[in-house]
Amino acid sequence: MSIETAIGNGTAVRWLLLIHQLPAKPAYLRVKTWRRLQSIGAVAIKNAVYALPATEQTQEDLEWLRKQIEQSGGEAVICEARLIDGLTDAEVRAQFNAARDSDYTEIADELRALNARLDKGHAESPEELRALFKRLKARHAVNVAIDFFGASGREVSDGLIGALETGLNESGVEPQDSSPTSPMTDLTGRVWVTRQGVHVDRIACSWMIRKFIDPTASIKFILPREYQHTPGELRFDMFAGEFTHEGDRCSFEVLMARAGLDDPALAAIGEIVHDIDLKEDKFGREETAGVKALINGICSGAHDDEQRIARGGAILDDLYAGFQRKPLRQRERRAPLESTPKAAAGKSR
């Protein structure tokens, strides 16, 4: 049952709770963990107890965070709960909506300020105004992604974005982060393994494996708690996998680099997958919101993993073909930016 259905028919919402304890040092770990919790939309219901509505995606988000906490010397458990007494579903939903409304209000204020600059007709760079608008629109999309219960503030910021779009023609491509990762050979004729319930990162990885690495690759979909690793199997987007998140890179980016796939069109898809999977606006590509909506639709309508990969792969095929037709224009846009100190500093984000 979806969150919206549960709310509509009065059924109690199922919640996921992250209960964690962090070591005293390093001090920055608390800030890092708090920021990650904010980025996935979690709210605190007690000290060191954070809640999210129970969905496939929120569980995956919390599992990654639990892994990060434990790798840093902390402790964390995830449990599924139903509120019985002391705190109602409506009160928790109100906390989620308050958090999102606060972000919507901040974004709306900045959109109004940008609109005022546009109306005044000052002789400032149109490119600067477009870049500011693009960042605000990306922030809005990130907030929408974690707006689980339809906060009322979205309507205002949606309207402001629509009004500004009529006066601005978005353009430009973000510089590509190209930190090195060691390539890996001998990737054909192997059995690939990943978790059941594939979403954007695992769909994209599966597509890349079969399209660019091994067209006849066999992929197993497993429950991590029941899986026993067999030597020779290659795991991707799994906690102990050969190809999984490394630093701030999603599994797709790691697999692409370690497979030695130097392809601008594939890299562009990697930027989209990164921002959807990590709920960031690091690259801010204009295609991201549309791809995210399509993938979410596929996952809502198809429960079979191979079916999700087939339908998602068709979208990625078309996207890849589109990027192949315009690599020169992208490189021409990037070249002058990368030649400036300011742009070089931006690449270290």
3-state secondary structure of 68: helix
Lookup: tokens for 277:
């999977």
- Whether residue 27 has pLDDT greater than 80: yes
User: In sequence order, what are the beta bridge partners of 194?
Assistant: 221
More confident residue, 121 or 79: 79
- Whether pTM exceeds 0.75: no
pLDDT band at 20 (very low <50, low <70, confident <90, very high): very high
Q: Which region among 18-27, 162-171, 259-268, 318-327 has the lowest average model confidence (pLDDT)?
A: 162-171
β-partners of residue 20 are 76
What is the mean pLDDT of the segment spanning 48-69? 92
- Distance of alpha carbon 324 from the chain centroid: 24
- Judge whether residue 332 has pLDDT over 90: no
Q: Which residue has the higher pLDDT, 18 or 342?
A: 18
* Domains in the chain, CATH or no CATH each: 3-87 (3.30.70.240), 90-165 (no CATH), 191-346 (no CATH)
Facing residues of 76 across strands? 20
CA angle 20, 26, 29 (to 5 degrees): 45
Q: Which of 70, 140, 73 is nearest to 105 (CA)?
A: 140
Q: pLDDT by residue (tens digit) across 136-146?
A: 988 888 898 89
Q: Which two tokens stand for residue 146?
A: 């974690």
- pLDDT confidence of 176, banded at 50, 70, 90? very low
pLDDT at 122 over 80: no
Res 278: pLDDT: 83
